[in-house]
Structure 1
């Protein structure tokens, strides 16, 4: 693809985002930035959340991973759906009843200030690393597709990318995000659909024949019953439930969008319809994965060794300009739909949870904008650090460690909701730090200690359980 064509596509895309930002941010204040004045249409939030939930990692990884683990990822998605039901029926009513801006305010009312700051702190750390990692992958694609052709260094690519995100979010915040997510989800799904149509055309298949090909492929196997496997159905299904509750229901980034709906009923409707849309969107990605490998086999194409490079390689080098363009739009949309909302959520959590900005009238808008700039710079520095490591396995390990921080959040909320026991609040931070450390040690030594058993996503459940046990030991004796 011509670098000028790539630049034109990305520039046009960002002009659209800036146009949406201009319209949605007029007359904005802190309430607009944090909650969109609780006026978001539920169907808009539901559709936009599909793109944010899939993310750039999913956009690249899920189709490629089909070559390694077939459709076993779908077991995890089955658990996701159950998790979303729990969010809609348990967490949404709680958060609306308490009229929360930051969901971690619940921990303050339930346990005390130390628990509250611990929950917010874990979110800030994990979301900073997670958002940086996802944007890092997108920046790498943009570097290869455009910036390398002009000898522009990677740090400039990252600076331009993160600056553009800041530019269209700094005024309207979550209100702008709700609308831009809709555009981004549209481009993401369009990229997958056009890639599928291109492959069908190359293989001389119609849609019905394509579906039959996918059904008959060994790569469309869904279930894994081997108890030692990290893809075992029961482990993966349960992990899907708890990871969804922890990384969606207890994540300010995701829940902030739900809390912009007009009322509890609309927020619940949003969750139910989003979960259905998410399920069918994931099916599209898995179907694309089968077709990518079938196409490569049919055309006798040697694929990259890393599964994450399979889809980008074929889209940019084999499918023609149209598919290459929509792939670029898809990866940019997927990465930015998660990065822009993460930046807004980080700003919200820090302002509300750490600075208690709601109690300060004078200078609060200026403070919020400074915090927004601060997190923009922080994410920039973390991405540069990832690149300096120059080792994908190290970067992935850092990202995995960030995932362990959701265990204490799940444990805190589960203990708070399922019991009435009060705890010694001052000791809670130590328990929440110790639990993921012990979980990480267990995860690294599981095969040796447990007869070949390997933990997958379900290590989160162990992490949360250790947190609950620790909180139980901190019982204060107060009813």
Structure 2
């Protein structure tokens, strides 16, 4: 398929995004950028958040890992997905009521209410590092695939590809922020899921397989095991379900990017509907991704496709299927790329502006001055994204989904411990010591992970490292805390 044709399709798609941004960004201000003026439609938010939650990593890495060699993941990822649903329910009925009660623009304002200014800055800083690493890893994966199947053929270097993608994202998020992203994410999620469904039906039709027959063939190849019953394995079902629940609580419930969209919904009940609906939809969508992974490995064996892992889906779609399927795949892939990057850049801009630089309380700036400041921060975030994507290019990991979840265990663990301590205890911490606890906990987690065979024998720690990290943080906070002397609970504190 012509690389120039694929590149033209990308620019046409981007033109549509710009049009949506122009229509939705009219009359935008800082409140529009940060929280969409709190009047977003919950159904649009729920549907658009599917694209943000999945990203390009899910689109290519989850199917590619089903039959990877030498150790196929099979359908074990569905265990994590069941945990995701549990996590979404916890967010809906524990965290969202707290955020709405405090009328927060940045969810890390809770830490200021509960612990103090240093804890607040610490929590925001952890989020910034966590989201920066996770989002740029996701962005790298899709940019690398676009480079592999399009730009390399045109002689365009990787750094120019990265620069072009970031400039595209800046152009349609610069004015409207969350107000625009709610609509662009809806468009992009539609394209991504449509591409997945069309590719699935094409493979079934091409191989003359029915649904049941395809599952039988996958089972014969040892690809369909869902529940791992060996307690020593990293993929033991209880470990995976528990890890999935805490991954969702941390990477959605105490993540400014994801909560920024939920908080843009006017009413708490509608925001809760958004979160519960998202949980059930994600369960079905990720099951379809795993099924597609099995189909891709059947198709790849039949067509003698050499590619594996993250490159399996793009290689099959572009080089071993009709051109129209390749075009659909490219549209779906870039639809998976933008939601994970645009929301992250907006959320990081929001957190830096509000939490770190205190923009809302800057009396030396008028509204126009604050808007100019926010835009400068946005451009700085974009520059950082470019640098981080280039760093991941040097790392060049073959399966990014595992790397991203591994990194999340280290970066989100302290946030989990901070929020859990604040919600489930009434003890007062020594605010000045909180940053040290949040540095010590990941360091201890790293030591445990590195020497786990010596410590636990055959028992393997996997994604539940996140929970262990949170427990270390919680325990450290307990050691630097004392009993409360009867101050009112956070729900009674007057909002700033």
| TM-score, length-scaled by structure 1 | 0.96
Q: 1:48 to 1:366 in 2, by over 3 A?
A: same
Alignment correspondent of 1:458: 464
Q: Is the 8 A contact 1:73 1:222 kept in 2?
A: yes
Alignment correspondent of 2:51: 51
Bigger CA drift: 98-107 or 287-296?
Answer: 287-296
Q: Encode CA deviations 1:397-452: one digit per residue, 9 max, x unaligned.
A: 68834541100000000000001000100000000010011101111111222112
Q: Among residues 193, 197, 205, which one is paired with 1:193 in the alignment?
A: 197
User: Structure 1 residue 296: deviation in Å?
Assistant: 2.4
Q: Among residues 366, 377, 381, which one is paired with 1:371 in the alignment?
A: 377
Task: Tell me whether 1:64 sits opposite 2:70 in the alignment.
Answer: no
Q: Among residues 164, 179, 182, which one is paired with 1:160 in the alignment?
A: 164
User: Structure 1 residue 297: deviation in Å?
Assistant: 2.9
Q: Among residues 252, 259, 272, which one is paired with 2:263 in the alignment?
A: 259
Task: Tell me whether 1:411 sits opposite 2:414 in the alignment.
Answer: no
CA distance in 1, matches of 2:478, 2:106: 25
User: Structure 1 residue 145: deviation in Å?
Assistant: 2.3
Q: Encode CA deviations 1:42-80: one digit per residue, 9 max, x unaligned.
A: 000111111110111111111111111211111111111
CA distance in 2, matches of 1:79, 1:427: 33
Task: Tell me whether 1:293 sits opposite 2:297 in the alignment.
Answer: yes
Residue 462 of structure 2: SS of its match in structure 1?
Answer: coil
User: Structure 1 residue 331: deviation in Å?
Assistant: 1.7
The count of aligned residue pairs is 477
Bigger CA drift: 132-141 or 78-87?
Answer: 132-141
CA distance in 1, matches of 2:347, 2:396: 29
Task: Tell me whether 1:182 sits opposite 2:186 in the alignment.
Answer: yes
Q: Among residues 332, 347, 353, which one is paired with 1:345 in the alignment?
A: 347
**After the TM superposition, which residues 224-263 of structure 1 pair with which residues of structure 2 at under 5 Å, given as runs?**
224-263=228-267
Bigger CA drift: 165-174 or 147-156?
Answer: 147-156
Q: Is the 8 A contact 1:34 1:174 kept in 2?
A: yes
**After the TM superposition, which residues 60-139 of structure 1 pair with which residues of structure 2 at under 5 Å, given as runs?**
60-67=60-67, 68-139=72-143
CA distance in 2, matches of 1:2, 1:277: 35
User: Structure 1 residue 213: deviation in Å?
Assistant: 5.3
Q: Is the 8 A contact 1:214 1:287 kept in 2?
A: no
CA distance in 2, matches of 1:401, 1:164: 27
Q: Is the 8 A contact 2:215 2:224 kept in 1?
A: no
Task: Tell me whether 1:423 sits opposite 2:429 in the alignment.
Answer: yes
Q: 1:113 to 1:326 in 2, by over 3 A?
A: same
Q: Is the 8 A contact 2:309 2:398 kept in 1?
A: no
Q: Is the 8 A contact 1:250 1:409 kept in 2?
A: yes
Bigger CA drift: 42-51 or 390-399?
Answer: 390-399
Residue 219 of structure 1: SS of its match in structure 2?
Answer: coil
Q: Encode CA deviations 1:94-133: one digit per residue, 9 max, x unaligned.
A: 0011000000000000000111000000010111111111
Q: Is the 8 A contact 1:6 1:145 kept in 2?
A: no
User: Structure 1 residue 149: deviation in Å?
Assistant: 2.1
Residue 261 of structure 1: SS of its match in structure 2?
Answer: coil
Alignment correspondent of 1:220: 224
Bigger CA drift: 391-400 or 435-444?
Answer: 391-400
CA distance in 2, matches of 1:241, 1:431: 24
User: Structure 1 residue 392: deviation in Å?
Assistant: 5.6
What's the Cα RMSD here? 1.9
Alignment correspondent of 1:474: 480
Q: Is the 8 A contact 1:191 1:329 kept in 2?
A: yes
Q: 1:395 to 1:94 in 2, by over 3 A?
A: closer
CA distance in 1, matches of 2:391, 2:221: 41
User: Structure 1 residue 307: deviation in Å?
Assistant: 1.7
Structure 2 gaps, min length 5: 486-496
Q: Is the 8 A contact 1:428 1:471 kept in 2?
A: yes
Q: 1:399 to 1:418 in 2, by over 3 A?
A: closer
Q: Among residues 441, 444, 449, which one is paired with 1:438 in the alignment?
A: 444
- Structure 1 segments of 4 or more deviating over 4 A? 206-217, 389-399
Q: 1:65 to 1:397 in 2, by over 3 A?
A: closer
| TM-score, length-scaled by structure 2 | 0.93
Q: Is the 8 A contact 1:236 1:457 kept in 2?
A: yes
User: Structure 1 residue 303: deviation in Å?
Assistant: 3.1
User: Structure 1 residue 279: deviation in Å?
Assistant: 0.9
Alignment correspondent of 1:328: 330
Alignment correspondent of 1:36: 36
Bigger CA drift: 446-455 or 47-56?
Answer: 446-455
Q: Is the 8 A contact 2:137 2:404 kept in 1?
A: no
User: Structure 1 residue 359: deviation in Å?
Assistant: 1.8
User: Structure 1 residue 389: deviation in Å?
Assistant: 4.6
